[in-house]
Structure 1
Amino acid sequence: MHDLDIRREAMRLVASDRSLNSVSRETGISRATLRHWRTHGITPTSIGAQPLRTEGPAYPYLLGLYLGDGCLSAHRRGVYVLRISCADAWPGLADACERAVHGVRPGGAVSRVQRQGCTEITSTSKQWPVVFPQHGPGKKHERKIELEPWQQDIVDARPWEFVSGLIHSDGCRITNWTERAVNGVRKRYEYPRYFFTNTSADIRRLFTGTLDALGVEWTESRRRGGAYNVSVARRASVALMDAHVGPKS
C-alpha cells in the first residue's frame, strides 16, 4: 500500500525520464507497480488485484455517509474495518448503505451488526484508508477534515450523491407548520425543510460548499449542545433537494 503522495512522487521521477529500475531502487516500489501506475494512473481505482472503485455514484454517496456516521478501525495484518451506523428508524438507510459499500468494494463481504437503536454496516479491506484518507486518530470534529483533490473532483462531478450521503447520515427532511388568519379564518400552512447537523465545522463547510455549487440556499444556526444546524428552507431550494435527495426511508 502506498499513499497518494508517494505515488505522485514516483510518477514525477518516472516522468523525468528516469528508468523504472532506478525509480524502483530509490523508492522501493516494484517495477510492475510503477508500470501499472504509468499505464492506468495513480488514483485509488488502480490499486491492488481487487481495487476499490471510486468511479460511479456509489463512492460519493458512501463518502457522505462516512463523514457523517462512519469510521475506520484497524483490524490485523494491515486490514481495516469500515463501520457506518444506520439508525433503525429508517430501515431503508441500511439497505442503501450496503448497496453503496458493494458498489465501492464489489465482491467483498458486507456484514450487519445490530446495536442499540442502529445497525452497523461493516466491511473489511486494506484499502479503506486510501479511499477515505480523512481517517485519523480522534473524533472528526477535533481534527482537520478536507477532501483530497481527486475526491473533490469526484464530488464536483457527482455533487448530489455526496449531498445525499451527508443528509442520509446526519440530516433529515421535516415538515414544519404554522397557522395564519385569512379573512378571519385560521388556516394551517405546512412547509418542508431539510436539516444537516454536524459538530465538525470542516464537514459542514464541505456540505454548504457543495450546496453553493448546486445553487441551493441555506442558513446556519447553533443549537443547544454545541452542534450546528444547516437549514434549507427556501421553496425553490427545497424543491431541488426533493428532486435529487428526498427523505430517508
Structure 2
Amino acid sequence: MNAGLFRLQVAWIPDRLGLVYDLDTRKRALALVAQGFSQNSVSKQTGISRAAIRSWQTRTDPLGRGRAAGCPRCSDMPSDPEVPAAYAYLLGLYLGDGCISSSKRGVHFLRIACADSWPGLIDACAEAMQLVRPGNKVFRVQRQGCQNVTCYSKHWPCLFPQHGPGKKHERTISLEPWQQRIVRTHPWEFIRGLIHSDGCRVTNWTTRLIGGEQKRYEYPRYFFTNLSADILGLFTDALDLVGVHWKQANSRNISVARRASVALMDAHVGPKY
C-alpha cells in the first residue's frame, strides 16, 4: 500500500453518513461526551451529526486503532488483568479520585481526576489505564485546575465491580477475591495509587527544648484522606501487609509519621510529582 494513502486512511475516516472527519475532531467530540455532555449538546457545539457521534461511541474500534482487547473477567475462564501491577495502581486511583459513567448504549467511561500540579502523576495514570485496556484509546480532558484522564470501554464495571450508583462513601466498598489477590501481590502499587489520588507527603514541624533553648524540628509525614471508612480500611490493610505503622488521626485521615515507616513510603511511593 502507498504510504501516503495509508496515512490518509488512518487520519481521515468517514462516518455512516459518508461525511469525513479527522481523528482530532472525533477525539474532541468524544471528550465532550466523556465530560457528561449529551449527544445533542455536542452536536450543536461541534456541528457534527448525532448519528456520527453515536456511531463513534458504539463501534468496537471508534478511533481506528484496531479491535479492542477482550475483557479478562468476561471470558469463559476469568483471569487477572494482563499487567496486574498497573491494575493495582489504577485501582488505587479509581477508589480515590475515579468514577465510571454509563451511556445508554452500554459504553462506560472511566475518569480519573488528576490535578495539573502533578504532570508526572497524570502521565502515570494514563500509562496504567492504557496497560489495563491496551486496545482502547486513553485521552485527557482539560478542566479547571485538573485533567480528567479518560478511557471508554464496555468492560470497566467488570474490572471495577465497586462501580455503582451514588457516592463511594455512601455505599459498601469491598474487593473481590481476585482483586484481593492482586493487592496482596502488589501492595505498594495499590498504596501508591491511593496516595496519588487522595494522599500527600507533607513536612510537619514542632519545637523542642534543647540545651535550654526552643528549637524548630521538622519531620516528614504521609496523610491519606477519604470519606469512606471502607476505603480507609483497604488502605490500612495494605499498609499492614508491607509493615508500615499508621495511626488514624480522625474519622477521615490516616497518618504515617514514624521515621522507619516514612522511609519505607519514600522508597516505594514518594511525593507526588
Q: Are 1:179 and 2:207 matched, yes or no?
A: yes
Please say if residues 96 and 194 of structure 2, whose CA atoms lie closer than 8 Å, have aligned partners that are also in contact: yes
1:42 maps to 78
Counterparts of 1:133 and 1:157 in 2: how far apart (Å)?
19
Counterparts of 1:181 and 1:211 in 2: how far apart (Å)?
33
Counterparts of 1:64 and 1:206 in 2: how far apart (Å)?
10
Please say if residues 54 and 131 of structure 1, whose CA atoms lie closer than 8 Å, have aligned partners that are also in contact: no
Counterparts of 1:101 and 1:69 in 2: how far apart (Å)?
14
1:76 deviates by: 4.1
Q: Are 1:138 and 2:166 matched, yes or no?
A: yes
Q: Are 1:109 and 2:137 matched, yes or no?
A: yes
1:65 maps to 93
Aligned equivalent of 2:262, options 219, 222, 238: 238
Task: Tell me the alpha carbon deviations over residues 153-192 of structure 1, each in whole angstroms, 9 at most, x when there is no partner.
Answer: 0000000000000000000000111222322344322100
2:149 maps to 121
1:221 deviates by: 2.4
1:155 maps to 183
1:82 deviates by: 0.3
Counterparts of 1:174 and 1:113 in 2: how far apart (Å)?
28
2:119 maps to 91
1:193 deviates by: 0.5
Within 5 Å, give how 1:192-231 maps onto structure 2.
Answer: 192-222=220-250, 228-231=252-255
Q: Look up the equivalent residue of 1:55 and give its one-letter code.
A: V
Please say if residues 224 and 255 of structure 2, whose CA atoms lie closer than 8 Å, have aligned partners that are also in contact: yes
Counterparts of 1:189 and 1:233 in 2: how far apart (Å)?
14
Counterparts of 1:54 and 1:150 in 2: how far apart (Å)?
13
Q: Look up the equivalent residue of 2:78 and give its one-letter code.
A: I
Counterparts of 1:128 and 1:199 in 2: how far apart (Å)?
23
SS in structure 1 at match of 2:120:
helix
Counterparts of 2:83 and 2:178 in 1: how far apart (Å)?
11
Please say if residues 83 and 131 of structure 2, whose CA atoms lie closer than 8 Å, have aligned partners that are also in contact: no
TM-score by length of 1: 0.77
Counterparts of 1:61 and 1:242 in 2: how far apart (Å)?
16
Counterparts of 2:199 and 2:192 in 1: how far apart (Å)?
9
Distance 1:96 1:54, change over 3 A: same
Task: Tell me the alpha carbon deviations over residues 57-77 of structure 1, each in whole angstroms, 9 at most, x when there is no partner.
Answer: 110000000000000000242
Please say if residues 71 and 84 of structure 1, whose CA atoms lie closer than 8 Å, have aligned partners that are also in contact: yes
Counterparts of 1:247 and 1:188 in 2: how far apart (Å)?
23
1:30 maps to none
1:87 deviates by: 1.2
1:112 deviates by: 0.9
Q: Aligned pair count?
A: 199
Deviates more, 1:213-222 or 1:159-168: 213-222
Identity %, equivalent residues: 66
Please say if residues 79 and 125 of structure 1, whose CA atoms lie closer than 8 Å, have aligned partners that are also in contact: yes
1:78 maps to 106
SS in structure 1 at match of 2:191:
helix
Counterparts of 1:189 and 1:221 in 2: how far apart (Å)?
20
1:81 deviates by: 0.3
| Structure 1: tracts of 5 or more residues without a match | 1-35, 46-52
1:55 deviates by: 3.2
Counterparts of 2:135 and 2:163 in 1: how far apart (Å)?
23
Please say if residues 171 and 194 of structure 1, whose CA atoms lie closer than 8 Å, have aligned partners that are also in contact: yes
| Structure 2: tracts of 5 or more residues without a match | 1-74
Counterparts of 2:169 and 2:213 in 1: how far apart (Å)?
48
